[in-house]
Amino acid sequence: MNCLIMLADGFETVEALQTYDLLKRTHRFDVKLCGVYGRSVRSSQGVLLEAEIILDEICPNDYDFIILPGGKLGVENLKKSEVLLKIIQDFIREGKDVHAICAAPSILGMLGLLDELNYTCFPGFQTGKGTWVDAGVVKTTHIITGRSMGFTMDFAKAIIAHYYGEEAVEAIRPGVEGLC
């Protein structure tokens, strides 16, 4: 499975990097950090990183799903990219998945992609005609949403289980939780 984690200045560090880390630990995902506006991207906590690829370099057909981390400023910056918004809409229209956490589900709500669906997000970022659920993670057919940074591990595990089942989550548990 090939996926992109979309980054713009102001992204939430833990939501992006912990999700990246857990998906990589499975050895089943080809995960790329994608800079929406350029290769150098700074998180909301000031962490500067070099994205592996930039939005202008991708062919959306090469990817199975997209992940949108939160961070208020990061989400505001993601919303400004008409190219990204079109890719998100195309993914859902084509039956591909888009997963979002914290403030990022507001992008999906703004695009009408949460209409008639249950979802979660950081309180105060509810948008659209979907039904906000007070839960850490909510899964629908093509969208998994996470409430906040504190639920990032649950969010990432839900993504892993969605594609490869609970056994894939169990396989990484010892390295993640220090179990012998």
Rg (C-alpha) for the chain, rounded Å, is 15
Q: Report, as an integer, the average pLDDT of 10-36.
A: 97
Give the number of other CB atoms < 10 A from CB of residue 11: 33
Whole-number percent of the chain with pLDDT over 70: 99
Asked if 22 and 3 count as a contact pair (C-beta separation under 8 A), the reply is no
Q: What mean pLDDT comes out for the span 153-168?
A: 97
Assessment of whether the complete model's pTM goes beyond 0.85: yes
Residue by residue, what is the 3-state secondary structure of the chain?
Answer: CEEEEEECCCECHHHHHHHHHHHHHCCCCEEEEEECCCCEEEECCCCEEECCEEHHHCCHHHCCEEEECCCHHHHHHHHCCHHHHHHHHHHHHCCCEEEEECCCHHHHHHCCCCCCCEECCCCCCCCCCCEECCCCEEECCCCEEECCHHHHHHHHHHHHHHHHCHHHHHHHHHHHHCCC
Q: What domains does the chain contain, in order, with CATH numbers?
A: 2-170 (3.40.50.880)
**Band (135; pLDDT cuts 50, 70, 90):** very high
Two tokens, residue 88 = 């998100």
Q: What is the pLDDT of residue 177?
A: 81
Q: Is 99 buried (19+), middle (13-18) or exposed (0-12) by CB count in 10 A? A: buried
Report the pLDDT averaged over residues 166-170.
94
Instruction: Check: CB of residue 99 under 8 Å from CB of residue 119.
Output: no
Mode of pairing for the β-strands spanning 137-139 and 144-146: antiparallel
As a whole number, mean pLDDT of residues 122-132 equals 92
